[in-house]
Amino acid sequence: MNDLIDRYVHQVGLYVRPKERAEIEAELRSQIQDQLDDRYGSAPTPADVAAVLKQFGSPRTMAVSYSGEQYLVGPELYPYMMTVLRFGLPLVPALVVIANIIGAALSPEGANWIGLLIGSVITGVQAALLFLAVVVIFFAILQHSDEVLRASQTEFNPLELPAVEDPGAVDRLESGVGIAIGMLFGIAILYYIQVGGLTLRFNLSDPGEVLPVPTLWLVVLLFTTFASIFLNLWALLFRRRWTFWTWLLETALELLGAVGLYFALFTPVAERIKATVPNPTWLPLDQLPWIITLVTIAILVLGNGGKLIRLWQAQGERTKN
C-alpha cells in the first residue's frame, strides 16, 4: 500500500518546482491518507489505494492543480528551461570569443586584435541573445504541446506507476545540460552549413577562412543532434523515464553522430593539418580520425550499454509481473 502511495507522490513531485516539492509532497501524502482513513479505515487494500489515487487523477494533472495560472512557460517546464539557460548562456559568448581569437591567431594574415576583440564580444552577445530566444521559444512550444498531449492522454491507471528507484528514471540536471550542449552544437552546425564548411570565426558577414566539408554529413549531424534533443525532452517531460527502446534509439543516434563527426570534422581537420604542417611525424594523422572515432564509439557502447541491460532486465521483470 505504502509503495503505491510513494510512487504516486514521487511522480507528482517530479512535475512541481524543486523548492516547493517537499511541502507539496507532504501535503499530498496527508490528503491521500485522510481519504483512505475516511473511506476504508485503518486497513485499506491495494485496490482501495488505487481507487483513491485514480480519483486524485494522474500525477501530471495533480501537479498542475497546485499552480493553475497560465504561463508562456509554465512552472512545470520553467526549472528545466532555467537549467538549460544557466549552463548555456555563459558558455555561448565565451566559446564564440575564444573561437574567434584562435581563428585569428592561426590565420596567416595579420589581425587587428583590438577590433577583433570588440567584434568578438559583440558577436558573442548576439549569439547569447539568439540562444536565449531559441530556448524560450522552444520551451513555449513545448508548453503548448504538453497541454495538447495532456488533454489526449488515456485513462490514468495507478497500478502502472513506475517505481521510485527506476533504472529508466531521467536525471533532470544531466538531461538539461545535454539539451543545452545539443542546442549549442545544433546552432554551430547550422552556421557551418550556411557558410559552407568549418571555421573558427563566428561571423556570417565575414566567416574568415572556411574549411570545406561534406554537406551531407553536416546534415546528418544536424539530424542526429536535434533528434536527440527531442528524444531527451520526450523522456524528460512527457514520459518521465527512459524505456529500453527509447534508450536504444538514443544510443543509435549518438553512434550515428560519432560516424558523422569522423567525416565532417575529424578527417577534414586531419587533412588540413597534413597540408599545412610539413612532415608531422610526431602525429599519426592518417590514423588519428578513426582512432578518435573508435574510442568515442567504445565509450558510448560502454556507457550506454550498462543502462540498456538494466532497462532490459526491468522490462522483463514487469512482463513477468
CA atoms within 13 A on the CB side of 96: 30
Residue with cell 524528460: 236
Indicate the DSSP class of residue 162.
Answer: P
Q: What is the pLDDT of residue 258?
A: 94
Looking at residue 159, its pLDDT comes to 65
pTM: predicted TM-score of the whole model, two decimal places: 0.66
According to the model, what pLDDT value does residue 321 have?
56
Phi-psi map region of 263: left, alpha, beta (phi>0 left; psi -120 to 50 alpha)? alpha
Query: What confidence score (pLDDT) does residue 149 get?
Result: 52
User: CA-to-CA distance for 43 and 36, rounded, in angstroms?
Assistant: 9
What pLDDT sits at residue 299?
Answer: 92
Owner of C-alpha cell 586531419: 270
Q: Mean pLDDT for each 10-residue chunk of the chain (321 residues)?
A: 80 77 88 85 81 83 68 66 80 78 62 72 83 81 61 62 68 72 85 87 75 92 94 77 90 95 90 71 76 92 89 72 56
Distances (CA, A) of 66 to 89, 141, 261: 30, 22, 45
Between CA 306 and CA 273 the distance in angstroms is 37
> Residue written as cell 487523477?
57
Residue-wise DSSP of 64-108: HHT-----SS-TTTHHHHHHHHHHHHHHHHHHHHHHHHHHHHHSS
pLDDT of the residue at 66 = 73
